[in-house]
Amino acid sequence: MAQDAIELVEVGPRDGLQNEPDIIATEGKLALIERMIDYGARRLEVASFVHPQRVPQMADAEAVIAGLPDRPDTTYIGLTLNKRGVMRAMATRERGPQDGKGRGIDQVGCVLVASDTFGQKNQGQTIAEGIAENRAMLRFAKAEGMRAQITISAAFGCPFEGEVKPATVLAIAEEMAAEGPEEIALADTIGVGTPAQVSELFGALGELLGGRIPMRCHFHNTRGTGVANAWAAWQAGVRVFDASLGGLGGCPFAPKATGNIATEDLIYLMERSGIGTGIDLDAAIATNRWFADRLGRELPSLVARAA
């Protein structure tokens, strides 16, 4: 990837949809994913391997994955919270592609929460338990030939405990870096971070990693700072960005948390700043409108609304 370009991770099919009150049919999710690929998304978080009673929208994870286009230029990510989730992701590859569909998950996304209270509510783990579980997950995935990366969520604040100290986040990152994940992401799960905090924390993470492991960022726009935070992350050396079509999203276990930064808003910011993205903004806006019609409401993206 060129120095003056970013890589987009389109998280709309998973993080964008997981908090939607109405269940989106498998066929609708696949149609959305195919349109995302058409507008240039080449790395997509398509499902999470969680208990269907906890996140009903993701109950059809395996069915969605079985219908994914088998494209060699595209990476499909599945979110996993424990070793069982990694095993489910691996199982999607056992059947192999059929009729050009369903080659399975390419990469698992592990998650560790930087807060004991939120971690227990989100996935039943304290920080210490999350470190142990994710260390085991990364080792298991690597041993089985499955690509794996990790996200440290609630890295800028917790809905229950408030401030999360940068030292806590960096200590977790150091533990995880020792396992050699493909990437380490920091997520502002409840959208409390500011550009100054982003610059400080990603700057410190970059020094800790020393270029050995790429950084990724994941911002929510709960307080309107998401896109500004993305620019601060770029300036701090981040080149991989999560975003969700239309700004959809939210965590079922984080009260009042709203959507991710919108793919359209991020792409507008970067392209107008001379930074390549590989995304067709007009096609993304068209996909926004197509999906908004199906949801029966306008999506939050400001760029799409202004177009």
Catalytic residue ranges: 251
Yes or no: say if 63 and 73 are a contact pair by the CB < 8 Å rule.
no
Which value, to the nearest 10 degrees, does the dihedral of the CA atoms of residues 230, 167, 159, 14 take? 50
Residues 217, 219: Cα–Cα separation, whole Å: 7
Give SS3 for 98: strand
Report the largest interatomic distance among the alpha carbons of the chain, rounded to a whole angstrom. 50
> What CA–CA distance (Å, rounded) separates 16 from 10?
9
The token pair that represents 227 in the structure block: 């896109």
Q: What is the C-alpha separation between 264 and 285, in angstroms, rounded?
A: 7
Of the candidates 294, 217, 296, 307, which has an alpha carbon nearest to the alpha carbon of residue 31? Answer: 294
* Pairing between β-strand 43-49 and β-strand 107-113 as defined by DSSP bridges: unpaired
Contact (CB, 8 A) for 202 and 243: no
Evaluate whether 144 touches 276 at the Cβ level (below 8 Å). Answer: no
**What residue type is assigned to position 97 of the chain?**
P
